[in-house]
Amino acid sequence: MAEFDAEFLLSLARDKSGERRQLLAETISDLFTGKDRVLSERERTLMFDILHKMVHNAEMAIRRVIAEQLSGLPDAPPDLINLLANDEIEVAYSILHDSTVLADEDLIEVIRHRTQEHQLAVAVRNNVSELVSDALVKTGDQSVITSLLKNSGATVSLTTMEFLVEESKRVDAYQEPILRRDDLDPELAKRMYLWVTAALRKYILDNFNLDKTVLDDLLEQSAENAPTKTRNKSDELAEEVESGGLGLSKMMIRALKDGEIFLFEAMFRRLTGLRNTLVKRIMFEPGGEGLAIACKATGISTRDFTTIYSLSRLTSTSGESGMDSRETQRILEFYERLPEKAAKEALSRWRRNSDYQKAIRDLNLGS
């Protein structure tokens, strides 16, 4: 396109055919990249005015083309960029992700008033200020916050990071992204040592200059002084079952048969004293050794264990592939050989959150 032709550009925008739309995209790209010639300031201003009119009236495919071309221009008009940033996410994404024209105030307005998809696009920008990070965290959306934490280009204030560290007690998805951030205060990593998994504890020891003995002492002290947690209805029902003299193992079987998985987990937690995350892992992991150890340590009979194992396998696979009789026989033999004392020792280690797999390997039953 040798000369800038405003009427030609507008005619392309009005034409909805795929061929003309492609020509429009190429024309806009050529104009902005100076492929044929560099626009004068007057032509550039006129070009932006035309694009502003097109954004109001053009279909989404055209608006997306305009957004993609403007997203990399540091001198694009702020009002036009803001208009595109608040458009449908198909249009807005490239602007929210790449445009340096957007001020913090503009991004915060988008975060507050647009969709989760818009928030996610802001969370993965190359540069995210503390103010914008705070606004993203205030959404309370776990996907948005996790994306922000994974973004090395995001700056998070110490106050906000302290809040997210506390939140990571209940939101496991925050833990690893927080610990992998280069700007994490070692004192916050030390605090997280009390509730993260064994693998993340090892990561903390390997990557932060912290004394393992001090950390283990803190862990023991925390376990001894832990307050009673807020209980849900399943926990309350599990307590009623036990205080009413009903056998937890029998009621656990009943809960599994009735599909009451949360109730089963509550009773299993009460029976074993394990954390909920480990209960879920034991219940649904392949193999079943963890389930066998926990059941043996709490005195569950072989017959009841067989039923619990079978029902839990069906639950974890949705009954799609049925039960493997060889696997069932293998785990029952494991259960019969397993010394109750060794099982109790393993369960005691798990209550202190020691390495789950290592406790299984250390049983050394020759299986």
List, for residues 211-245, the tens digit of each pLDDT value. Answer: 767 666 666 665 555 444 445 555 555 555 444 44
CA dihedral 268, 270, 274, 279 (to 10 degrees): 20
Amino acid sitting at position 13:
A
Question: Whole-model pTM?
Answer: 0.55
Distance, in Å, from the CA atom of 196 to the CA atom of 179, rounded to the nearest integer, reads: 10
Distance, in Å, from the CA atom of 331 to the CA atom of 310, rounded to the nearest integer, reads: 10
Residue 172 DSSP one-character state:
G
pLDDT tens-digit map of 7-16? 666 666 666 6
- Model confidence at 28: pLDDT above 90: no
User: Confidence class of residue 357 from pLDDT cuts 50, 70 and 90?
Assistant: low
The pLDDT value given to residue 99: 94
The pLDDT value given to residue 22: 64
Distance, in Å, from the CA atom of 253 to the CA atom of 259, rounded to the nearest integer, reads: 10
| Cα dihedral across residues 8, 11, 16, 17: positive or negative | negative
The residue that leads in pLDDT, 77 or 128, is 128
Per-residue tokens: 131: 């103010």
- Model confidence at 316: pLDDT above 60: no
Q: Which of 98, 29, 88, 99 is nearest to 58 (CA)?
A: 88
Q: Between the ranges 121-125, 213-217, 331-335, where is the mean pLDDT highest?
A: 121-125
- Model confidence at 5: pLDDT above 80: no
Kindly state the percentage of the chain with pLDDT values over 90.
Answer: 30
Tell me what the pLDDT averaged over the chain comes to: 78
How far from 333 is each of 64, 327, 365, CA to CA, in Å? 63, 10, 11
How far from 99 is each of 27, 55, 77, 223, 229, CA to CA, in Å? 21, 17, 11, 49, 46
- Model confidence at 276: pLDDT above 80: no
Least confident segment among 106-120, 141-155, 188-202, 223-237: 223-237
- Model confidence at 278: pLDDT above 90: no
Distance, in Å, from the CA atom of 209 to the CA atom of 197, rounded to the nearest integer, reads: 19
The pLDDT value given to residue 245: 41
- Model confidence at 314: pLDDT above 50: yes
Judge residue 111's burial from the number of C-beta atoms within 10 Å of its C-beta, 0-12 exposed, 13-18 middle, 19 or more buried.
Answer: buried
User: Confidence class of residue 354 from pLDDT cuts 50, 70 and 90?
Assistant: low
Residue 363 DSSP one-character state:
T
The pLDDT value given to residue 319: 41
Per-residue tokens: 12: 């392309």
